[in-house]
Structure 1
Amino acid sequence: MYKLRPHHGLCTAFFCGHGYSDVFTRNMREKLRLFGQTDPWIMLTDGADCLCAACPHNLPGHCEDAEKVHAYDKAVLAHLGLQTGAVLRWEAFCRLVDTRILAAGKLAEICGDCMWYAICGKRMADGIVRENPDL
């Protein structure tokens, strides 16, 4: 089972090879490849997860921008009707994110102030969701 921050359901939907560092990008590719092949169980967490592990903004166990990412997580959980600690399969989580947030037009409302939103918003507008060419 993998721990995953709820807002990472959005990040993974639009990942296209950009990241905070080469180490982070490699880890994201590896996890997305693994998740796509094995559909693992994930547990939604409010702390550092398997993607944060390789992030240069990960301080020992928490994000240096904790307040912002906590707000993203809280909004995602509210839209999905889930709570921290929920356990579900990766594919089921992606379907919830895709239908209750992305198809509902809630991306900008949740994370419009994110530094990566220009990329995600453009990919969303172009209809490119969960197409990860670098995998």
Structure 2
Amino acid sequence: MNKILRPHHGMCFQFYEGKGYSEDFTDHMGRIIYEMEEDPAQMITLKVETDIVCKNCPNNESGICTSQEKVRKYDNEVLKACGISNGTEIKYQDFISTVKTKIIDTGLRAEICGDCGWNYICDKFNKA
């Protein structure tokens, strides 16, 4: 069975530096990224819903994101920019490459999620 991934996490993964809501969250996020990068050809399913990353997030209350409106907007904007539909099955490496090419390299990232609380991390990488 494919791992479920929220589309906006395709951006987060590319800027992740070990910071997060809690130690449990950062340990979990680090493990997920490691597992994905160890097998980049694995198939994932992109869905606008809580995913494997959300498991240890404090905004996840019984499988429902308390920031749902905001992150759903991020997810839908990522899908739109990448020309992908909700529910698409895709190789992890292809998805990450598409996000980099169509969003990060073109400067769209800040337009999509510039109001995110972690934006300062991504901005730092973009300016480096």
Task: Please give the range of the TM-score, normalised by the shorter of the 2 chains.
Answer: over 0.9
SS at match of 1:99: helix
- Residue equivalent to 2:20: 19
- Residue equivalent to 1:131: none
- Aligned pairs for 1:40-119 (under 5 A) are 40-119=42-121
The runs of at least 4 aligned residues of structure 1 exceeding 6 Å deviation read none
SS at match of 1:108: helix
1:123 corresponds to which letter in structure 2?
A: F
Gaps of 5+ in 1: 127-135
SS at match of 2:90: strand
- Residue equivalent to 1:35: 36
Pairwise CA RMSD: 0.7
Question: Once the 2 structures are TM-superposed, how far is the Cα of residue 125 of structure 1 from its aligned partner?
Answer: 1.5
Gaps of 5+ in 2: none
The Cα offsets for residues 76-115 of structure 1, whole Å up to 9 and x where unpaired, read as 0000001110001110001000000001110110000000
TM-score normalised by structure 1 residue count = 0.91
SS at match of 2:52: coil
Identity %: 39
Aligned residue pairs: how many? 126
Question: Once the 2 structures are TM-superposed, how far is the Cα of residue 124 of structure 1 from its aligned partner?
Answer: 1.6
- Residue equivalent to 1:2: 3
1:34 corresponds to which letter in structure 2?
A: E
1:23 corresponds to which letter in structure 2?
A: D
Distance in 2, Cα, partners of 1:68 & 1:51: 16
Distance in 2, Cα, partners of 1:43 & 1:124: 27
Distance in 1, Cα, partners of 2:102 & 2:64: 27
SS at match of 1:17: coil
TM-score normalised by structure 2 residue count = 0.96
2:46 corresponds to which letter in structure 1?
A: L
Question: Once the 2 structures are TM-superposed, how far is the Cα of residue 56 of structure 1 from its aligned partner?
Answer: 1.1
Distance in 2, Cα, partners of 1:49 & 1:59: 13
Q: Could you say which structure has the greater relative contact order, defined with CA pairs below 8 angstroms and 6 or more residues apart?
A: 1
